[in-house]
Amino acid sequence: TLDEIYEASQSITEKANEDASIIWGAVINDNMDDEISVTVIATGFDSNNLGAQSAKTKEPETQAATAEEKKPEKKAERTSRVIDEDDDFYNIMSIFNK
C-alpha cells in the first residue's frame, strides 16, 4: 500500500546523510500481492572519496505485518495536472522518459 511505501521512504531518509536530497516515487503492481519492492539510487558522491569507507552490507530489512496491523488496501487514485515545463520536478523526472 502507499502507507508501506511511505514507511520505506521514511526509513531510507532517516538512514541517509542529512544533506542527501531524496526523491521517491511509487508504482503499484497488482502481481506482487502483499510484497513491495524498493529501489534506491544514490548519486552525487565525491570521486576523491570513493573507497575511503568500506560499504557495509546487510540483509534487507523485512517487516512482516500481523493480521491486526494490516489495513484495508486502498487503490491508488489517478490525478492529473497541467505540467509546467519550467518546473524543476518535471525537468528532473523527465530523464526517466528516455
C-alpha–C-alpha distance, residues 70 and 64, integer Å: 10
One-letter amino acid for residue 87 of the chain: D
Count of structural domains, the chain: 1
pTM reported for the whole predicted model? 0.38
Record the cell numbers describing residue 23, joined without a space.
526523491
Domain that holds residue 96: 1-98
One-letter amino acid for residue 73 of the chain: E
* pLDDT, tens digit (0-9, with 9 covering 90-100), for 21-77: 887 777 778 888 877 777 777 766 666 655 545 455 556 565 555 555 555 566 666
What letter does residue 56 receive in the DSSP assignment?
P
